[in-house]
């Protein structure tokens, strides 16, 4: 195990050094990604090694007899003309069923721990080992009303005195009258192993799913925050948190088998929930791809794809096949959509098409094995790819927004400077012994005095500035008005206009000052003041 971990560390180091130059502009830390994959691979290898050490004998081939008259017993079973078949193909149905097998365990004296039979089946069952009744899970019967349903996962202790080195005989009496549907394997698993709680055995099987569960939950939180903060989210982003949530719920429903010891009729309810969540996950994947890569007729494209998916699910002969189709068909359709858009050179379409193609091929190579633990690893890997793509896109958009804000700030500064030049808010006054910037709003009026101007301020000061009245008129903003050849007044301070008999007039300012208006300019002033 240490050698495997050391080798994986070397491989991760090479990958890290190879891709680091391309990750400088992203928000994803390559060290964290490599560390996650190292943890995933290490957990997979360690779990496999632990499983090889823990599990002793898997029952795979059995003989099957159907007892319609209750004439078969555990002692007469091997005298019957029973049919041989794989355990996974046994159909219990609404009848009394007997299954049996023989196997070798090696020297029982070397077995230093209690041994048990772990049996997972949608049935009530009685267990006979070398002719002796060793346990009962519910109560099997030929009549439905007499059957007592057993739990889905059950362990019964095998006394060490019954163990033989050769030709151990196992016979199981079954009935499954309370199955509502015949949509899954009746007997998924039978193992002779070290005795342990059935829930612990199931949880040990599901232990590796903690890695994809963590990835999915982190992705769910990350994308939810991303969508929440983004006031104008990118097309398709909304569906990724929903897809992550559905897969998380599907995984939790899967793992619930190791947390609750439920009776076998509820197993089909659990499988139907998994199928429903798988179907919704597949449709969410479709919506994500269609919303992100299809420009026109998106509703029609989704409806046709959904109809095709539902037809494939309906044609599946087992619940396992239906659940695989629920994600495989949308993945295939999504690949075709992104491949077509990649041909049209749409941004990011090629990357998505490559990821979806790999995902689809992995399912197609071994669909029966895919549904168990592999499903969540590969779905988590696909969603991790989506997370990284959106993180990169989000980082790029933030950079573009910052650049646009900088450009807008520079443009606004230029406009402000231009506006200040055209209509200044302050002017520079050259006084006798200093220069002073005066706010134009504080100027009441300006009076010409040959090469100088006398400026009257709101604070009752009068300052002398060495500039002509004509130059001052050009510098002052549009709020100032020339009312006389010797006066410029602040229009915002005009309170009233007084007409004189000579044709001229006086302007009364809110500051209390009175400024003369020439007869020639009087009509213009009256027009401007209304």
Tens-place pLDDT, residues 158-199: 998 898 888 899 999 999 988 877 767 778 889 998 898 888
**Angle of helix 349-365 versus helix 319-343 axis, rounded to 10:** 150
pLDDT at 37: 42
pLDDT at 17: 44
Terminal CA-CA length for the chain: 95
11 part of a folded domain: no
Q: CB neighbours (10 Å) of residue 501?
A: 5
Using alpha carbons, select from 184, 130, 123 the residue that is nearest to residue 152: 123
CATH code: domain of residue 70: 2.60.120.260
pLDDT at 397: 74
7 part of a folded domain: no
Indicate whether 22 pLDDT > 70: no
Using alpha carbons, select from 196, 150, 201 the residue that is nearest to residue 172: 150
Query: Are 390 and 459 within one domain?
Result: no
pLDDT band at 423 (very low <50, low <70, confident <90, very high): low
The domain tally of the chain equals 3
413 part of a folded domain: no
Query: Are 229 and 175 within one domain?
Result: no
pLDDT at 396: 77
Indicate whether 41 pLDDT > 70: no
Strand 124-129 and strand 168-175: pairing?
antiparallel
Q: What is the mean pLDDT of residues 358-367?
A: 82
Residue listed under structure tokens 């134009």: 440
Query: Are 107 and 172 within one domain?
Result: yes
Q: How far is CA 31 from CA 57, 97, 120, 268, 294, in A?
A: 41, 56, 42, 43, 35
User: 33 exposed, middle or buried (CB, 10 Å; 0-12, 13-18, 19+)?
Assistant: middle
- Out of 356, 379, 395, pick the residue that ends a domain: 395
- Out of 147, 169, 196, pick the residue that ends a domain: 196
pLDDT at 418: 65
379 vs 359: CA distance, rounded Å? 8
**Angle of helix 210-229 versus helix 239-255 axis, rounded to 10:** 150
- Out of 165, 196, 227, pick the residue that ends a domain: 196
Indicate whether 9 pLDDT > 70: no
Query: Are 175 and 257 within one domain?
Result: no
Q: CB neighbours (10 Å) of residue 251?
A: 23
φ, ψ for residue 270, nearest 5 deg:
-60, -45
The 3-state DSSP class for residue 234 equals coil
Query: Are 187 and 213 within one domain?
Result: no
Query: Are 260 and 381 within one domain?
Result: yes
49 part of a folded domain: no
User: Among 153-162, 333-342, 347-356, 400-409, where is mean pLDDT lowest?
Assistant: 400-409
pLDDT at 174: 93
Query: Are 174 and 245 within one domain?
Result: no
pLDDT band at 55 (very low <50, low <70, confident <90, very high): very low
State the number of CA atoms in the 13 A half-sphere of 208 facing the CB.
23
φ, ψ for residue 155, nearest 5 deg:
-125, 130
Query: Are 254 and 117 within one domain?
Result: no
User: Among 215-229, 247-261, 447-461, where is mean pLDDT lowest?
Assistant: 215-229
Query: Are 384 and 453 within one domain?
Result: no
pLDDT at 3: 39
151 part of a folded domain: yes
pLDDT band at 476 (very low <50, low <70, confident <90, very high): confident
CATH code: domain of residue 478: 2.40.50.1020
pLDDT at 321: 84
pLDDT band at 36 (very low <50, low <70, confident <90, very high): very low
Q: Which token pair is 469?
A: 């009245």
State the number of CA atoms in the 13 A half-sphere of 303 facing the CB.
4
pLDDT at 235: 55
SS3 sequence of 406-418: HHHHHHHHHHHHH
The winner for highest mean pLDDT among 133-147, 191-205, 238-252 is 133-147
Q: Which domain holds residue 448?
A: 426-529
331 part of a folded domain: yes
Q: What is the mean pLDDT of the chain?
A: 81
Residue listed under structure tokens 């504080």: 442
468 part of a folded domain: yes
pLDDT at 19: 37
pLDDT at 432: 67
264, 150 Cβ separation under 8 angstroms: yes
Query: Are 380 and 452 within one domain?
Result: no
356 part of a folded domain: yes
Q: What is the mean pLDDT of residues 151-163?
A: 91
Long-range pairs, 342-346, Cβ under 8 A, ≥24: 346/293
Query: Are 177 and 208 within one domain?
Result: no
Query: Are 89 and 223 within one domain?
Result: no
pLDDT band at 438 (very low <50, low <70, confident <90, very high): confident
pLDDT band at 409 (very low <50, low <70, confident <90, very high): confident
CB neighbours of 75 closer than 8 A, spacing ≥ 6? 131
The 3-state DSSP class for residue 33 equals helix
438, 427 Cβ separation under 8 angstroms: yes
């Amino acid at each position: 195990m240490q050698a495997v971990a050391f080798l994986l560390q070397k491989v991760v180091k090479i990958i890290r050094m190879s891709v680091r130059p391309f990750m400088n502009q992203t928000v994803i830390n390559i060290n964290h990604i490599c560390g996650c994959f190292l943890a995933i691979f290490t957990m997979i290898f360690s779990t496999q090694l632990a499983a090889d050490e823990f599990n002793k004998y898997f029952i795979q081939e059995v003989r099957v007899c159907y007892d319609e008259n209750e004439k078969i017993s555990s002692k007469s079973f091997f005298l019957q003309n029973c049919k041989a078949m794989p355990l996974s193909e046994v159909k219990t149905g609404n009848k009394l069923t007997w299954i049996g097998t023989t196997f070798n365990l090696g020297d029982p004296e070397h077995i230093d721990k209690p041994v048990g039979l772990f049996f997972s089946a949608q049935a009530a069952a009685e267990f006979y080992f070398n002719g002796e009744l060793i346990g009962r899970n519910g109560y099997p019967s030929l009549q439905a009303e007499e059957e007592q349903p057993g739990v889905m996962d059950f362990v019964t202790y095998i006394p060490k005195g019954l163990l033989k080195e050769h030709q151990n005989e196992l016979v199981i009496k079954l009935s499954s009258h309370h199955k509502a549907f015949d949509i899954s394997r009746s007997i998924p698993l039978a193992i002779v192993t070290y005795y342990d709680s059935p829930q612990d055995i199931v949880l040990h099987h599901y232990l590796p799913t903690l890695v994809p569960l963590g990835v999915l939950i982190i992705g769910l939180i990350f994308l939810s925050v991303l969508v929440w903060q983004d006031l104008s989210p990118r097309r398709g982003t909304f569906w990724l948190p929903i897809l992550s949530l559905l897969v998380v719920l599907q995984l939790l429903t899967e793992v619930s088998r190791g947390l609750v010891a439920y009776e076998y009729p509820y197993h089909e309810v659990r499988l139907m929930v998994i199928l429903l969540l798988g179907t919704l996950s597949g449709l969410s994947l479709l919506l994500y791809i269609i919303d992100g890569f299809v420009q026109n007729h998106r509703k029609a494209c989704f409806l046709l794809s959904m109809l095709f998916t539902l037809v494939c699910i309906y044609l599946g002969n087992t619940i396992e096949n239906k659940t695989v189709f629920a994600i495989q068909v949308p993945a295939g359709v999504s690949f075709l959509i992104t491949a077509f858009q990649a041909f049209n050179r749409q941004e990011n379409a090629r990357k998505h098409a490559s990821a979806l193609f790999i995902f689809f091929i992995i399912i197609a190579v071994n669909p029966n094995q895919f549904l168990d633990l592999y499903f969540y690893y590969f779905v988590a890997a696909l969603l991790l790819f989506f997370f990284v793509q959106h993180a990169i896109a989000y980082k790029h958009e933030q950079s573009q927004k910052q650049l646009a804000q900088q450009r807008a700030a520079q443009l606004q500064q230029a406009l402000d400077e231009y506006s200040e030049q055209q209509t200044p808010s302050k002017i520079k006054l050259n006084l006798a012994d200093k220069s002073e910037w005066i706010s134009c709003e504080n100027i009441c009026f300006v009076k010409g005095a040959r090469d100088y101007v006398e400026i009257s301020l709101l604070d009752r000061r009068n300052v002398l500035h060495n500039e002509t009245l004509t130059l001052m008129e050009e510098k002052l903003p549009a709020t100032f008005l020339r009312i006389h050849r010797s006066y410029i007044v602040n229009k915002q301070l005009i309170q009233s206009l007084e007409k004189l008999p000579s044709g001229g007039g006086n302007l009364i300012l809110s500051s209390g000052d009175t400024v003369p208006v020439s007869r020639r300019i009087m009509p213009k002033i009256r027009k401007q003041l209304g």
